[in-house]
Amino acid sequence: MFHLAAQIDVRRSMDDPVHDASVNVLGTLSVLQAAREAGAGAVVVCSTGGAIYGDGAPLPTTEAEPAEPASPYGMSKLAAERYTRFFVGAHGLPALVLRFANVYGPRQHPAGGAGVVSLFCDRARAGLRPTVFGDGGQTRDFLYVGDVARAALASADRLAAGELAGEVFNVGTGTESTVVELAATIGTIAGLAPEAFTPEFLPARAGELRRSCLDPSRCIAALGLPSPTPLAEGLARTWAWHTGR
């Protein structure tokens, strides 16, 4: 069982934390309970690295850093992690948690965690310059969706083999990129002259993390995964989807 369903909008969680908790906490509890009743052989619960560690954590952040969520979204995802741990300990549920960095790739809708990639690709395709909130020096760990799928499938295999229950793994690249660098790379892949894709800067948005980057070494070693997809390669695949759809 792969549990990805969630209320994923951090800003919405600030406006309506009750709705956020009802989906992310009670929803996850329903999934865990159903998994237990069905005798599921493997349960992969999807959580977040970006919203759980908070701004002060050393980078790239390891799983050893304490969880310091600053938003109701981060808190509800942390609660979901703790309920997962409870079901492992109390009921022997074969479950583990994957904390994703900022996921991007083909077929992404623009509202998600790395919706900025999807938005920038849409702007480039329309011949418009990208919009950046703040100075564009904020960093993210952009993770290709294929790497997420590989980690989730490998997790399920290992759980089904009776291994790794109760683990919490970062799924990221260990590489930080600024939003301005991201825009420049997408502009290059789209074949645009730098001046045609210079960002338009808007005021910074309140509550946004300044820097975020996850250390994926434990996950890569435990699951036997290949190195994460380099950003330029993942962006080229994403751009091919945007232009071919």
Ligand X SMILES: NC(=O)c1ccc[n+]([C@@H]2O[C@H](COP(=O)([O-])OP(=O)(O)OC[C@H]3O[C@@H](n4cnc5c(N)ncnc54)[C@H](O)[C@@H]3O)[C@@H](O)[C@H]2O)c1
Q: Which residues bind ligand X (CB under 6 A)?
A: 4-8, 23, 27, 46, 48, 100, 102-103, 112-114
- Please give the Cα distance from 96 to 173 (Å, whole number): 20
| E strand or H helix that includes residue 98 | strand 95-100
Q: Give the nearer residue to ligand X in terms of CB position, either 7 or 185.
A: 7
Q: Would you list the DSSP string of 6-61?
A: ----HHHHHH-HHHHHIIIIIHHHHHHHHHHHHT-S-EEEEEESHHHH-TTS-SSB
| Shortest distance in whole angstroms from residue 194 CB to ligand X | 27
Catalytic residue among 73, 83, 104, 144: 73
> For the chain, where are the alpha helices, taking DSSP H only?
10-15, 17-21, 27-38, 50-53, 72-91, 115-125, 145-160, 179-189, 217-223, 231-244
Is the Cβ of residue 102 or residue 138 nearer to ligand X in the bound state? 102
Contact 69, 77 (CB under 8 A): yes
Considering the complex, state which of residue 6 and residue 182 has its C-beta at the smaller distance from ligand X. Answer: 6
Closer to ligand X by CB, 16 or 129: give it.
16
Distances 92 to 20, 81, 88, 96 between C-alpha atoms, Å:
28, 15, 5, 12
Interatomic CA distance for residues 54 and 56, integer angstroms = 6
Please say if 73 is a catalytic residue: yes
Identify residue 24 by its one-letter amino acid code. N
User: At closest approach, how far in Å is the CB of 173 from ligand X?
Assistant: 12
Q: Which is nearer to ligand X, 16 or 192 (CB)?
A: 16
**N-to-C CA span, the chain:** 30
Active site residues: 73
